[in-house]
Structures are given as structure tokens and as C-alpha cells.
Amino acid sequence: MTSDDVAGQDLTDDGDWRENKFFRRRPSTETLAWAAASLGAGSRIVGHRRLTGGVNSAVHRLTVERGDTRTLVVLRQYPAGSIALRTAMDEEIANLKVVASSGLPVPTILATDVAGAATCGAPSLLMTRLPGHVHLNPAERLPWIERIAEFAARLHAVDLPAPTFRAWEDSWITPLGQFKVPVGARNPSVWKAAFEAMESPPPEDDAVFLHCDYLPVNLLWSRGMITGLTDWNGIHRGSRAIDVGQCRRYLASLYEPDWAEDLRLLYESIVGAPLHPWWDLHSLLHHNDSGPQSISRQVAGRRPVDVSGLTARVEIVVEQALRRLG
């Protein structure tokens, strides 16, 4: 499951979810008391700030005071009443434990209450705050993309256990036989050819460790370097093109097709291996009519999003991947 996964779905009967009120609320008094108690005797929560960009969860930065020391931690919460979202939190907790000793810059778990027993029913995860911020406005394009390629290669070199990625079970891609040409397509035949290419069995490819939500909005930066990777609820092992392709989809959506192609070429140069075009195409075809709304919400005003031309930009990258597939 990726961060785009439930953007257009009604996963709970709670009206607050449909109206997004949950994401605008401050943490409950009970939640703040739970967080303080979880952080040790003498800890007090003296401030909180809602972090923007989350699609499936409410995320707040909490300021913790203990004696003369103040620290920042991160609270993620899902609305009560959704089995699917509670499962997503269970998965993120398990995956954070897997990557805890990986050497990657990932959050450390401080406390969990998946049942919401002490947090008014809201599944809750308390984590360390990683340094840096989401950076979507690079002064120079190529160095920024190169850092993303380098970090992807570092991620994929990690030797950790994870389930094998299954093309049609382990992602939110449209099921086979149900693809539709997205609104805004300039050349519907490109999409139809891509849909037809997906009818062939998923090809074998070298399996690497995958994040499965490797998007610019999940990368934290400081002083031109990537300092953190967030949203760990989908790890698998599979084709490296799965992660890079998702990031390419995002770069084409948010910037230009050339940015997506730059990432492919830089990544292939770093790892010394080509991205499998079928798996690259599979990731690109996660674009659908909910994509512009989902990306706009994730970007959360950090940069302008040209929604009207978004599908046309992704279409160019889809066509390029088709040509490589042959």
C-alpha cells in the first residue's frame, strides 16, 4: 500500500474521514497525555503543530519539555473505525522495526497504541523527528535528481527480509482488464498500448529491497543532502524499477518528463544496470484520474501544481517506457 493508495477511497464510515475534518483537528487531550506518559516521567507536551501533506493520516510535530530540555517528536494518527487504516499502521510499525538497524535515516518508534485505547480510538504512532524538510523547489535540477538517484541506490543495496512484490496484489494499480484512459490524455492509443503490455506475465528481474513509496514528498533534505525517508508501510523485495518508476511518475507529474528521464539515466549509471521497462511501465500506470488531486494534497502548497497538463506529462514518460519495452 502506498501513500496514494486510499486517496480516493472511503475506507471508514466515519464522516470526519470523508470531510477531512480529522486531519485538521489538534490531537486530543487524551492523546497528548498518552504521548507525555510514553516519553517518561516529567515529560510534558508544550506545543503541537500539524504537518501538511498527509493523505491517509494526521501528522503532528509535538514539542516535549523535560526539565530544561525541549525535543521534537512526530505523532501519526489514523481516524478510528477503519480496519484497513489500522492494518496500515501495524505494517508501518513492523517495517520500521525491520529497517531500524539498516543504517538508513529512518524514524525510531517511541510508542504505539494501534488499538487507540488511550487515544480516543485513533490508532497512534509516536516517532522520533528526523532532521530536514520536504524540498520540492531545487535551485538546480540535476544535482537534486542525482541525490534522489543515489539514495535510491543506497536503499536498494540494503540486505533485509521483505515479502516478494506481487504486481497485482501488492499495489494500488488498477486491476487488469479495468484500465481506463485518464482524463487529459493527448494520445489515448499510448495508454491503450501500455494497458495491453500489462497483459503479459510480470517478468523476472533481480530482486532488491524496496520502499514502495519512494516519492519526493517522502524525502527529507538539509543543506542539499537527503536526511530522511518516511512512510514505511509497504516494504517488499522486487524489481528496482518499482521504486524508481513511482518516483519517475511523480517527477513527470510535478515537473516535466525530462526530469523523470534524468532520474532513470542517473540511477542506471550509478547501479550499472538498466531498469526493466515492464516494471517501470507498471509503476507509471499507477497514474489515474485521482492522481492530480492526490498529488496536489501531498504537495500541500509547497510548489505550484500544473494540474491541467499533468496527465499529458505522464503520458510522454509512458510512451518512452513503451518504446524501451519494444
- Angle of helix 240-254 relative to helix 257-271, nearest 10 degrees, comes to 150
Asked whether the beta carbons of 180 and 174 are under 8 A apart, the reply is: yes
Gap between the terminal Cα atoms of the chain? 29
In sequence order, the 6+-apart residues with CB closer than 8 A to the CB of 319 are 187, 190
pTM: 0.92
Indicate if 282 and 230 belong to the same structural domain: yes
pLDDT at position 81 is: 83
Q: Where are the beta strands (DSSP E) in the chain?
A: 43-51, 58-66, 69-77, 109-113, 124-128, 208-210, 219-222, 225-229, 236-238
Helix (H, G, I), strand (E, B) or coil at 112: strand
Indicate if 177 and 304 belong to the same structural domain: yes
Indicate if 258 and 321 belong to the same structural domain: yes
Indicate if 123 and 167 belong to the same structural domain: no
Tell me phi and psi for residue 50, to 5 degrees: -70, 130
Indicate if 202 and 293 belong to the same structural domain: yes
pLDDT at position 105 is: 98
The alpha carbons of the chain give a radius of gyration, in whole angstroms, of: 20
C-alpha cell at 51: 504537518
For residue 35, being part of any structural domain is answered with yes
Q: Domain count of the chain?
A: 2
- In angstroms, the CA 283 to CA 171 distance is 9
pLDDT at position 84 is: 85
Closest CA to 144 of 297, 247, 275, 4: 247
pLDDT at position 25 is: 81
pLDDT at position 82 is: 81
- In tens digits, what is the pLDDT along the chain, a chain of 326 residues? 333 433 333 344 434 443 457 777 899 999 999 999 999 999 999 999 999 866 678 999 999 999 999 999 999 999 888 888 889 999 999 999 999 999 999 999 999 999 999 999 999 999 999 999 999 999 999 999 999 999 999 999 999 999 999 999 999 899 999 999 999 999 999 999 999 999 999 999 999 999 999 999 999 999 999 999 999 999 999 999 999 999 999 999 999 999 999 999 999 999 999 999 999 999 999 999 999 988 998 999 999 999 999 999 999 999 999 999 99
Range(s) of the domain holding residue 321: 141-325
For residue 259, being part of any structural domain is answered with yes
